[in-house]
Structure 1
């Protein structure tokens, strides 16, 4: 089950603003913390297992895919010994358009996974609906190869939540709120892992 927002017209801007914040904050405060810890532990193992974290999503979630890779390579690794490696499967438009034109749009991610990924790599997926055909195809191919799949979803989690090893779902039918929650989790993961691996002397010298 999932909730909806708004349920009726809200005429005052401040009322919409504070209702929006309340909905988002309630979702973030009620996530499954055990799953969050498991995600953290899996990301921690990426260096030891020589894993690459691949990311993907559609629309606004494609920007989150790129944003994840940007932050984990530049920020999380900065002044730490993590050496996290991440590749966004949404960033090569020439390749995506070639796959879409010559093969199928539904294979824009799965084709790359077949060519790039190996067992024990990690696939981090962003999807509000959890039902995008190209993401479901990517998850199925990733499972066959032996990748660990992490997904952030919305609504009822869709089919993607069931194809994932670890899933955090934000059960609301509002794309903006779900994407805000996904962004918060992405930033939290990046910053928390960096915080764990920084020396105390560096905390006053750098900005998070």
Structure 2
């Protein structure tokens, strides 16, 4: 058993290191990050908000990143308006029961979203029907859509204003890439809106 653990430990970390190294050197990802930061900061400075949506591990990312913005990332500063659409069980179960699970995020976008807001849509496949429906609802409301998905992009690739496609087909690696990018997005938004000057 110890040999199996050691082998898998090393193999999994090697894959993660290779992925993150490749991403760190990807000029296109650098450009996309600059664009996503600009879109987010512009919205927030205009009195708009960020909405986050995803399923499973992506739901955890949605809640995590919204929390980083409302609370703090690196340092104390005023909270930023960010809402995870994954947290209200009464809304999710009501919409799921009345309209179907495909609409649990779209209905919230219809209710809470405004033109100029940002929807951050997270799906490792890029094809999650409820996330795609949320994107369609956001576009109908003239919101900006920032997507996080895997290398294929799925349906989301054509629907997002900015789409981060992690260069992997493995769900765990895609999720690791999303977490690195999401943390960076939060850190850069914080630094841009509340520069510390040091």
Q: TM-score, normalised by structure 1?
A: 0.84
Cα 1:128–1:154 change in 2 (3 A) is same
Which structure: greater helix fraction?
Answer: 2
1:79 is paired with a residue whose SS is coil
Deviating beyond 4 angstroms after TM superposition, the runs of 4 or more aligned structure 1 residues are none
The CA deviation at 1:78 is 5.2
The CA deviation at 1:150 is 0.3
Q: 1:191 aligns with which of 187, 191, 194?
A: 187
Distance in 1 of aligned mates of 2:179 and 2:25 = 14
The CA deviation at 1:47 is 2.8
**1:73 paired to 2:107:** no
Counterpart for residue 204 of structure 1: none
The CA deviation at 1:96 is 0.4
> After superposition, what is the alpha-carbon deviation per residue over 1:69-89, rounded to whole angstroms, capped at 9, x for unaligned?
1001111495346x5210110
Cα 1:39–1:28 change in 2 (3 A) is same
CA contact (8 A) 1:157 1:169 kept: yes
How do residues 1-208 of structure 1 correspond to structure 2 at under 5 angstroms? 12-13=7-8, 14-30=10-26, 31-76=28-73, 79-80=76-77, 83-196=79-192, 197-200=194-197
The CA deviation at 1:18 is 1.8
Distance in 1 of aligned mates of 2:74 and 2:83 = 14
Cα 1:107–1:128 change in 2 (3 A) is same
Cα 1:137–1:190 change in 2 (3 A) is same
> After superposition, what is the alpha-carbon deviation per residue over 1:95-145, rounded to whole angstroms, capped at 9, x for unaligned?
101111121100000111111111111101111000011111111111011
CA contact (8 A) 1:54 1:89 kept: yes
Q: TM-score, normalised by structure 2?
A: 0.88
Distance in 2 of aligned mates of 1:74 and 1:144 = 30
The CA deviation at 1:41 is 0.8
The CA deviation at 1:27 is 3.2
